Structure 1
Amino acid sequence: MRTSHVGSFPLPYSLENVERVLRDLAELELDIAPYPQMRSFVEIYIEPLISAGIVEKRGDLYISTLEALDISRVPQPRIPEAEHSINIVKRYGLEFKGLRAPVTGPFTLASRIYVGDPSLGLSATALARPNIVREFFVPYVARFVEYLQSLGYNYVFLDEPILGIVVGKKRVLFGYSENDIVTALDTILSVLNRAEGGIHVCGALSPKLFEILCSVPRARYINIEFHDSRQNLDIVSRELLERYDKILAPGVVSSRNPAIESVDEIRSLINRVREVASDRVDLVSADCGFAGLREALPSCEECYAIAIEKLRRIVKAVRSLDVD
């Protein structure tokens, strides 16, 4: 088993902090390091649309129109922290087994852009227009995936927290079929020819959503949380993992609670995951990124120290299990 991280850290955004995080991750010997996200995982991928005049930011809201969401108007993708991370790894010879690019997925991006009255909630967002997701957001995200692979990232994960809301136990919202979701995610990952693909969804999943994720042909890794959502142990199907040849990438420490888990607790949870997934477990991480720690404590430095210690203990737990 190898260790990894979903992406975010509770530090102010700067390229100096990107370097700091990467050097710390190398020191604690994390196997697969992400480019560190300190800006919002939504902001990173919507900012180019704002610069191109496709989306307008009004306060905390992102506003657009169906006419403005035209893929021909989208500029070439660029993520400064992703490029800087590659340069830092090369400059200092940081020894990771691979690099991970977290990419906010089309459904989650669409859920944050209003094309109608914001007081109507999700139904006023682009998410409620499946044709817009298919024709604009899927090719838009695919451009970022291709760009990040070209930079040298070995693993590209689509982050889709909104799918936990869209896909329930019995039905799927906004008229999507299960195949619509599978096709959208697979179309994006189909641009990969050197890197491996994965999907990250935080929170509690329905059995239906777990099967949908497993059904995405080019998604090798399914990254879901188990520490704060123990009920996910009940929806994991070894039969589905084997049928679709998937690897479960489990979150085993809380990404929101500042209490630091013991190595024994982490080992125990990993073993419970292995009981339901057998040997199809890799890229062990926290439940999600650590940006949520900012809501628990006022000090960014204290939050960051907690995040690093949680990752350090994940590394210790995984290594001790591999020795056993």
Structure 2
Amino acid sequence: MELLTSHVGSFPLDPFEDAEEVILKDLHSIGLDVPPYPQLRSFIDIYLEPLAKAGLITKKGDFYFANPKELLESRPPNIRIPEAEKAIDVVNRRKLRFKKLRAPITGPFTLASRVYFDDPEKGLRATMISKPDVVSSFFKEYVIKSVEVMANLGYGFIVIDEPILGIIVGKRRILYGHTADSIIQLFEEIYKHKADADGGIHVCGRISGKLFDVLVQVTRLNVLNFEFKDTPENIESINAELLEQYDKYLAPGIASAKKPIIEDYNDV
């Protein structure tokens, strides 16, 4: 694989008409190889709002709620992501040439961690992430549908965004009944549906060596994307021998998402 540049997907802009076109033309002008469809909404809302519209979860204020038993007995709805569709249209209509397009998809663990079945003040243990059976069934199947949609639209790099994994997979143990094997198996089943696209995973923030060891074993996963600019200590969790053994590529985050400055070329 050649050296390619990409972007995780979120942009610090309020939605406006033709936003996708403006952003994609800007990304094209700077020579980005693999741009994402621009996410101007919360990456949580993009994927949970369709579930709310389908009546499977309920939004109250800033929180989403559902009944675990009802989700276990439900089938995820078909999904459309307007931003992803519009990005494809812009690229085709404006004849923007990129190496491929990146589809950021919020992962099953992170989605589950934002759907409550109990008082939100109780934290993560009051969310669906504490219900492994719900994560490995309903939310997995929902993300599979999202992956299939993106592959059918023509996205060549499908990336699962899972920031919550940096929290539940610690140095020594994995929280809420999840296991290394169950995490590996879940992602194997998800990436099986990416067709000919490359598969990636993005975990922001601090990652443990244990999390790296788990993700590197997912055979259908090609690219591991972690932060290094804002979290330089992540380099300590990377095992180069395992990257080579499992034939994985590392996509280091080299620009800061926290400091709104243009980095010096040599610094990047």
Q: Residue 39 of structure 2 aligns to which amino acid in structure 1?
A: Q
Q: 135, 138, 148: which one pairs with 2:137? A: 135
- How many residue pairs are counted as aligned between the two chains? 266
Task: Name the CA shift for 1:15/1:77 in 2 (closer, same or farther; >3 Å).
Answer: farther
- How far the C-alpha of 1:79 sits from its partner, in A, is 0.3
Corresponding residue to 1:56 among 52, 55, 58: 58
Partner AA of 1:9 in structure 2: F
Say yes or no: does 1:174 pair with 2:176.
yes
CA distance in 2, matches of 1:15, 1:129: 40
CA apart distance, 1:75: 2.3
Residue in 1 aligned with 2:128?
Answer: 126
2:11 matched to which residue of 1?
9
Question: In the alignment, is the contact (CA less than 8 A) between 1:44 and 1:79 conserved in 2?
Answer: yes
Partners of 1:101 and 1:65 lie apart in 2 by 29
Between the aligned partners of 2:83 and 2:17, the Cα distance in structure 1 is 6
Over the aligned positions, Cα root-mean-square deviation in angstroms equals 1.1
What whole-Å deviation, never above 9, does each CA across 1:261-289 have from its counterpart, x for those lacking one? 100111xxxxxxxxxxxxxxxxxxxxxxx
Q: 1:189 aligns with which of 169, 188, 191?
A: 191
- Choose from 218, 221, 225 the match for 1:219: 221
Q: How does 1:84-123 map to 2 (within 5 A)?
A: 84-123=86-125
- Helix, strand or coil for the counterpart of 1:62? strand
More helix by share: 1
Question: How far apart in 2 are the matches of 1:261 and 1:215?
Answer: 34
Shift of residue 59 of structure 1? 0.8
1:168 partner amino acid: G
Whether the 8 Å contact between 2:79 and 2:146 is mirrored in structure 1 is yes
Regions of 4+ moved over 4 Å: 70-73
| 1:56/1:64 contact within 8 Å kept | yes
TM-score calculated relative to the size of structure 1: 0.80
Q: TM-score, normalised by structure 2?
A: 0.97
Contact 2:156 2:198 (C-alpha < 8 Å) held by counterparts: yes
2:166 and 2:211 in contact (8 A); partners too: yes
What SS is found at the alignment partner of 1:103? strand
Q: What is the deviation of 1:68?
A: 2.9
Q: What pairs up with 1:65-80 in 2 under 5 angstroms?
A: 65-70=67-72, 72-80=74-82
Structure 1: gaps spanning 5 or more residues = 267-324
- Does residue 249 in structure 1 map to residue 251 in structure 2? yes
Give, as a single letter, the amino acid of the residue that structure 2 aligns with 1:6. Answer: V
Tell me which amino acid in the other structure corresponds to 2:238: V
Q: CA deviation at 1:69?
A: 1.4
